[in-house]
Amino acid sequence: MTTSATEFEISCRDIWKIFGPHPERIKETLDPTLSRDEVLEQTGHVVAVKEVSFGVSKGETFVVMGLSGSGKSTLVRCISRLIEPTAGQVIIEDQDMMAMDETQLRDLRRRKMSMVFQHFGLFPHRKIIDNAAYGLEVQGIDKATRHARAQEVLDMVSLGGWENHYPGEVSGGMQQRVGIARALAVDPEILLFDEPFSALDPLIRREMQDELIKLQTMMRKTIIFITHDFLEAVKLGDDIAIMKDGEIVQVGTPDQIIMNPVNDYVDEFTKDVPRSRVLSAGSIMKECEVVVSENDSPQSCLLLMQSKGSSVAFVEGENGQFLGACSLEQINEAARSNSPDVHSAISKAQATVLPDTRLGKLIPLTAATDAPVPVVSQTNKLLGAIDRAAVILAFGGS
């Protein structure tokens, strides 16, 4: 995947991390056909991250997922330089992190980038409000100001009223909320999450996922989120990168990955995904067979429908707005009546769906009619159509 610093808030270019006594030499002489196990056996080095490149747009949630040992946690630590990469670049708004000295890097972590780990790392002897305010304290912000900001973010993550308690007095889910509040308190542009919810019980984990989605809707931070759970990835991610043996094997939207897995490894992740909750109208829609203008005559519309073997025509206004649909019966009636245009044949009761409408909501719509259902944009532009067959095939994995 080719990236450009001007396109993305975060741009990773050819990131490598090799563990061992001579990582740079191994990288230069590495046989690309060797597996990770073969490299370890022959050289005693571990290729943890191999030639990883991707870009994350401002306000995007980019999820990196893979099984244990795939390199995902090493990758996010390379991005933050908690681990020094063997090679590559991490560009943050046209600044190369690899070229930063310790002072610049420390300032970046304090002001622009925050990280949330699986293990909360809270100070047990400090109250929750002081834990949340810790990053501001490090910046030298006075107590009144940092407590006011900490209280604001604690309220944001539904911890208002708990600020004077200690971490040991609250649940694991609440402790993780404190960790998120601490990261948000410094108002960073970038948030890095390293499997933050994996140690939580399933119910609390779902609540935390919902909380993060709510926060992201409000704040639109740029997020890189690490997980081993594909259901979590498709729930949270705008885009997903799947890693195996230190390499990214596929990048795409949840819909793209589920509909078009590149290999058996990716396909295995998608098998247990509830497609009704993930796939959308936009991912299964087809091009409309017959689209006519509101000023077209019924006769010309009828000829077009007959030539295409279509039972329905979709009508657009002069400004490109979707006006409705005409059935073959309605067009025949308008033609017999010598109507000058198709207006009289338009069904005003035509149901439409947005491209992000999930598969589960499409079932009753397509079950109620043999005709295709139009997919329109937020501005009522016609994008495509779905029918019963497309929904059934999507459920079946085709």
Angstrom CA distances, 362 to 210, 236, 259, stand at: 23, 22, 17
Spatial separation of the C-alpha atoms in residues 47 and 30, rounded to whole Å: 10
Quote the pLDDT of residue 300. 92
Q: pLDDT grade, residue 255 (50/70/90)?
A: confident
What lies within 8 Å, CB to CB, of 102 at 6+ separation is: none
Q: Which amino acid is at 183?
A: A
Could you tell me which residues come within 8 angstroms of residue 143 by beta carbon, excluding any fewer than 6 positions away?
none
Determine the pLDDT at residue 397.
Answer: 65
C-alpha distance from residue 168 to each of 12, 157, 197, 309 (Å): 38, 18, 18, 69
Mean pLDDT of 343-351: 81
CA 306 to chain centroid? 42
Terminus-to-terminus CA distance in the chain, angstroms?
Answer: 26
Average pLDDT, the chain: 89
Query: What's the predicted TM-score (pTM) here?
Result: 0.82
Residue 255: left (phi > 0), alpha (psi -120 to 50), or beta? alpha
At 55 the pLDDT is: 94
Tens digit of pLDDT for each residue in 102-132? 999 988 888 899 988 877 788 999 999 999 9
pLDDT of 177 higher than 60? yes
The CATH code that applies to domain 282-395 is 3.10.580.10
Please state, in angstroms and rounded to a whole number, the distance separating the CA atoms of residues 64 and 75. 9
CA distance linking residue 232 with residue 273, whole number of Å: 10
Which region among 12-21, 79-88, 262-271, 378-387 has the lowest average model confidence (pLDDT)? 262-271
Confidence of residue 398 (pLDDT cuts 50, 70, 90): low
**What span, in angstroms and rounded, lies between the C-alpha atoms of 230 and 199?**
16
Measure Cα distances from 271 to 54, 62, 178, 275, 398 in Å.
25, 21, 35, 9, 12
Q: Is the pLDDT of residue 327 over 80?
A: yes
How many Å apart are CA 27 and CA 22, to the nearest integer?
9
Residue carrying structure tokens 């911890």: 159
Confidence of residue 3 (pLDDT cuts 50, 70, 90): very low
Handedness of CA 254, 184, 89, 92 (dihedral sign): positive
Could you report the per-residue pLDDT of 183-228, keeping only the tens digit for each?
A: 999 889 999 999 988 878 888 889 889 989 998 998 899 999 999 9
For 10-32, the pLDDT digits (tens) are 999 999 999 999 999 999 999 88
Residue 375 structure tokens: 């997919």
- The number of residues making up the chain comes to 398
